[in-house]
Amino acid sequence: MNSVAILGASGYTGQELRRLLAHHPHVRLAHAMSAREGAEPEPPALPVDQPIERLDLAALEKVDGVFLCTPHGTAARLAQKILPLGPKVVDLSSDLRLKDLALHAKTYGHAPEAPELAQEAVYGLTEHARAAVAAARLVANPGCYPTSVLLPLKPLLRHGLLDPHAVIVADAKSGTSGAGRQPTERTHFGSVHENFLAYGVGNHRHVPEIWQEAGTERIVFVPHLLPVFRGILTTLYLTPAPGSGADAIRACLRESYAPEPFVKVYDRGYPELNRVQFTNECHIAVGTVGPQVVVISAIDNLVKGASGQALQNMNLMLGLPETAGLR
């Protein structure tokens, strides 16, 4: 058995990893720790839960992998201390995703904490970085919104099926868990219930990440907050290249993801949140609206958009079956 630790184990992504690891055939959770130095241990919330331990970096010398489920701005500093101890590291925060350091500072309001690690970290969109992830000691796990946009979009850009001059509109809608466990006025039940809104229009922090990995800045991304707990549904409005169209786009996606265990391309119908919740799957469908093509994707933001993808990456890093613990 391989052993792993979770730092930030009481947050939503940490809790989700604990749920997944409880059924993993090849990995045991050795330590569920707080990410805050000096934080007191927390008793288990349920009788079957593992208590949250005080942060103890020395204990990480004995584990094979570490998941950083920590606040933005904290993970990079921890990674600097953990990597010399030997374990593989998957960072679920945004600290190491952007390669352009000036852009990181503009996006997050501070210079990157570990610029050398930002350059080293493999961007872990697993289906498009499998070999690099398997060889890495450090992976920057993608954001949930970027995962929902990039999985359907990257094959189409790579094969030149979209008009290179047309704007790509990414209309994305997420449940409230995407904002994290810390309550805010906006995510309070009274604000979300019977409500629906756009937010971060023109300045959402995931836009530079999407542009970086798509290789283009002609993507207009607008996120919305759904009155549900988990799930993301993204609709891409696309202008096909001359000679392309919905059939070619669907065929490209089918061929690209035919061998993939977690990506399903529909022949008919459209994805819904309740089909992907609690799974590591991304469901994709293609439709037409006049001359435009729409591509719709659905993921669980806490699983494929965070903890499930992180475990998928760690499986590869440890030389384990990619699907272990995720079926």
List the CATH number of the domain containing 126: 3.40.50.720
Give 110's pLDDT tier (boundaries 50, 70, 90). Answer: confident
pLDDT of residue 48: 57
* Catalytic residue chosen out of the listed positions 69, 144, 252, 282: 144
> Does 136 share its domain with 151?
no
pLDDT of residue 72: 87
Chain mean pLDDT for the chain: 93
Q: Tokens for 133, please give them.
A: 């992830």
Give yes or no for a contact between 150 and 142, defined as CB atoms under 8 angstroms apart.
Answer: yes
Give residues with Cβ within 8 angstroms of 77, minimum separation 6: 113, 114
Q: Is residue 197 part of a domain?
A: yes
> Does 98 share its domain with 165?
no
pLDDT cut 90: percent of the chain above it: 83
> Does 137 share its domain with 280?
no
Give yes or no for a contact between 239 and 220, defined as CB atoms under 8 angstroms apart.
Answer: no
Q: Is residue 322 part of a domain?
A: no
Q: Over the stretch 258-287, which tens digit does the pLDDT of each residue have?
A: 999 999 999 999 999 999 999 999 999 999
> Does 286 share its domain with 194?
yes
> Does 54 share its domain with 41?
yes
pLDDT of residue 42: 74
Number of domains the chain is built from: 2
pLDDT cut 70: percent of the chain above it: 93
Residue 299 has pLDDT above 90, yes or no: yes
Give 186's pLDDT tier (boundaries 50, 70, 90). Answer: low
> Does 149 share its domain with 293?
yes
pLDDT of residue 38: 64
Give residues with Cβ within 8 angstroms of 156, minimum separation 6: 162, 238, 249, 252, 253, 295
pLDDT of residue 83: 98
Q: Is residue 323 part of a domain?
A: no
pLDDT of residue 183: 63
DSSP β-ladder status, 197-198 and 219-225: antiparallel
Distance in angstroms between the alpha carbons of the first and the last residue of the chain: 18
Q: Is residue 281 part of a domain?
A: yes
> Does 157 share its domain with 289?
yes
> Does 53 share its domain with 159?
no
Give 219's pLDDT tier (boundaries 50, 70, 90). Answer: very high
Domain span including residue 285: 144-301
Q: Over the stretch 38-84, which tens digit does the pLDDT of each residue have?
A: 666 776 666 557 889 999 999 999 999 999 999 888 999 999 999 99
Q: Is residue 32 part of a domain?
A: yes
> Does 226 share its domain with 250?
yes
Domain CATH number, residue 235: 3.30.360.10
pTM: 0.93
CA 125 to chain centre: 8
144 labelled catalytic:
yes
Give 9's pLDDT tier (boundaries 50, 70, 90). Answer: very high
> Does 148 share its domain with 297?
yes
CA 230 to chain centre: 13
pLDDT of residue 35: 85
Residue 169 has pLDDT above 60, yes or no: yes
CA distances, 141 to each of 23, 36, 68, 230, 270 (Å): 21, 21, 10, 18, 27
More confident residue, 10 or 189: 10
Q: Is residue 327 part of a domain?
A: no
Give yes or no for a contact between 123 and 213, defined as CB atoms under 8 angstroms apart.
Answer: yes
> How deeply is 111 buried, as exposed, middle or buried, from its count of CB atoms within 10 A (0-12, 13-18, 19+)?
exposed
Q: Is residue 325 part of a domain?
A: no
Q: Is residue 257 part of a domain?
A: yes
> Does 167 share its domain with 179?
yes
Rounded distance, CA 176 to CA 158, Å? 32
> Does 311 share its domain with 179?
no
Residue 149 has pLDDT above 80, yes or no: yes
* Of the candidate ranges 30-44, 174-188, 195-209, 228-242, the one whose mean pLDDT is the lowest: 174-188
pLDDT of residue 44: 67
